[in-house]
Amino acid sequence: MDVRDSNGTKLSEGDTVTVIKDLKVKGTSSTVKRGTVIKGIHLTDDPDLIECRVEKIKGLVLRTEFLKKA
């Protein structure tokens, strides 16, 4: 499976990515700020989605269009 970030760079399991846009997290009052570094991503069956952990939020699923490889 070919998973790519917003710039077209290929992503693989365990990569480190950076958020390029402030994202509101549904179900919580928190926001993932632009520039947040996310380490150790997990790829899913969908090439447009990745799983990760951010601050105190476990099991967060983000779209690859809002990420770039760090």
According to the model, what pLDDT value does residue 1 have?
A: 81
Please give the Cα distance from 61 to 37 (Å, whole number). 15
Structure pTM?
0.88
Please give the Cα distance from 36 to 39 (Å, whole number). 10
For each of the domains in the chain, give its residue range(s) and CATH number, in order of start.
Answer: 3-69 (2.30.30.40)
Of the candidates 14, 22, 21, the one whose C-alpha atom is nearest the C-alpha of residue 53 is 14
pLDDT, one tens digit per residue, over 8-44 is 999 999 999 999 999 999 988 889 999 999 999 999 9
Question: The tokens of 5 are what?
Answer: 């970030």
